A and B are shown apart, each in its own frame.
Chain A
Amino acid sequence: MSLVLYDYALDENCYKVRLLLSILGVPHETVAIDMFPGSEHRGPAFLALNPRGTLPALFADGLLLTGAEAILAYLAERFDESGTWLPADPAAFGAVLSWLHFAVDELSAAARARAHAMTDAPADEAAVVAAARAALRLMDDHMTKREFSGGRFFVGETPTIADLALFPAFALSRDYGIDHDEFPALRRWIRRVRAVSGFLTMPGIPDYH
């Protein structure tokens, strides 16, 4: 078996994949790509490997996988013996996929707001921050209601890849100017995610020493 993750340490999508690899204890190799300021992911060498020019990219026994959420699903399907990170039950499976879609769609505003704040990537700052805040509100509304029946994670009784796909946008929200003050249910939720065995931090997500 060979797994090679093309990775950029400051990228929240790469972080999602690093999180699951660590949680599931999957041995792998990492190749660092200098996304900023080097733009190495747009250079000929990387494009020859991944024509999309996107990170993260995972080579699994030669198979190229792109898109953090797709990679999460692949890793869960292949390596999660507990079967809980991507549950097979149709209702739970559908709910996890809905949140993965949310992470790619609505939360792209958070990724753009953060890239704009940290690397000056072009964006309509007010618009992307407002869209990210609206998305975080939906997440807080969801977790608020989940908690009434003892729900601790976005879907089901245990953490799923949905939690990992949603985690960075909130955990890193201060990078793009959104405080945690207005999201009490998400504050409680990220503490639960942090307590998952195998959890890793990244720059911007402190380690409480």
Chain B
Amino acid sequence: MSAGWYPLALADGIEPGTSAGTQLFGKELVVWRDAGGAAHVWEDRCPHRGMRLSFGFVRGDRIACLYHGWQFDGAGQCRAIPAHPHLDVPETIKVATYRVAERAGVIWAADAHTEAPEPAARDALTPIRSLYVDRPVAAVRAALAGAGFPGADGAPLPFAGDAGGLLAFGAPEPVLFAALQPFAAGRTALHILAVGAPAAEDRVALAGAAEVLRRALEGASALAEAAA
């Protein structure tokens, strides 16, 4: 993973006691939230036989692997091996972990040794959705910078700059933010948030606008050409 912080999910979308798989530059990661609400980002591989930990299940402050039930605590340390209940689990059985920050309604991760400053906090945002698009991140970025974000009423929200890892849209004041996740080669995730507290029907309209954006980015359209 390159230096810096990367968005992986909308914070609201990962409920306590659940896990989700994702990718960053094609590397599989697990994002999980323990019962106490703390988010964790790890390499998505069980040290036992390599099963994706995101297929597993969270119990309290541990995540358990689906295959043979090995349990890992919040630091990635294996704490229990069901087949050997009396074993004092060696400290060396550990999952590689990442640094995590929850800012602006998004779960961000960085290399454990990163020196990059944490993403900026930003209040009063409402999550809209995560959108997964089969286009490279640079192309998505270029298309959004050029054409803006489709607005709920059809009129595009103009691109208003990059604010601490979030692309801002709308004038004179931003009304929408998007954090871009380099998912894998040719694939990007956009984590989209609205400014303020829009009503349910406005959130539905913005989520619908995101579908329009995905069709435009992936299909034959002016926006796709801008992204090419």
Contacts and interface: CB of A to CB of B under 8 A. Distances in A.
Interface of A: 141, 144-145, 148-149, 174, 179-182, 184-185, 187-188, 191, 206, 208-209
A145 B129 CA distance: 9
Contacts of B13: 184-185, 188
Contacts of A208: 57
B200 A184 contact: no
Contacts of B203: 145, 148
A144 B129 contact: yes
A182 B15 CA distance: 16
B9 interface: yes
A130 B79 CA distance: 40
Contacts of B132: 181-182
Given A179-B21, A184-B10, A206 B204 contact: no
A182 B133 CA distance: 9
A152 to B, nearest CB: 12
Interface of B: 9-10, 13, 15, 18, 20-23, 54-55, 57, 66, 69, 129-130, 132, 189, 200, 203-204, 207-208, 211
Contacts of B15: 188, 191
A181 B200 contact: no
A184 B20 contact: yes
Contacts of B57: 208
A103 B13 CA distance: 25
B22 A181 contact: yes
Given A188-B13, A188-B15, A181 B208 contact: no
Contacts of A144: 129, 207
Contacts of A145: 203-204, 207-208
B131 to A, nearest CB: 9
B9 A184 contact: yes
A148 B200 contact: yes
Contacts of A187: 18, 20
A206 B66 contact: yes
A67 B104 CA distance: 47
A187 B20 CA distance: 8
Contact of A181 (B18, B23, B129, B204): B23
Given A148-B200, A188-B15, A180 B208 contact: no
Contacts of A185: 13, 129
A100 B201 CA distance: 26
A84 to B, nearest CB: 23
Contacts of A179: 21
6 contacts: A141-B207, A145-B204, A145-B208, A180-B20, A181-B132, A206-B55
Given A180-B54, A184-B9, A188-B15, 19 more contacts: A141-B207, A141-B211, A148-B203, A148-B207, A180-B20, A181-B20, A181-B22, A181-B54, A181-B132, A184-B10, A185-B13, A185-B129, A187-B18, A187-B20, A188-B13, A191-B15, A191-B18, A208-B57, A209-B69
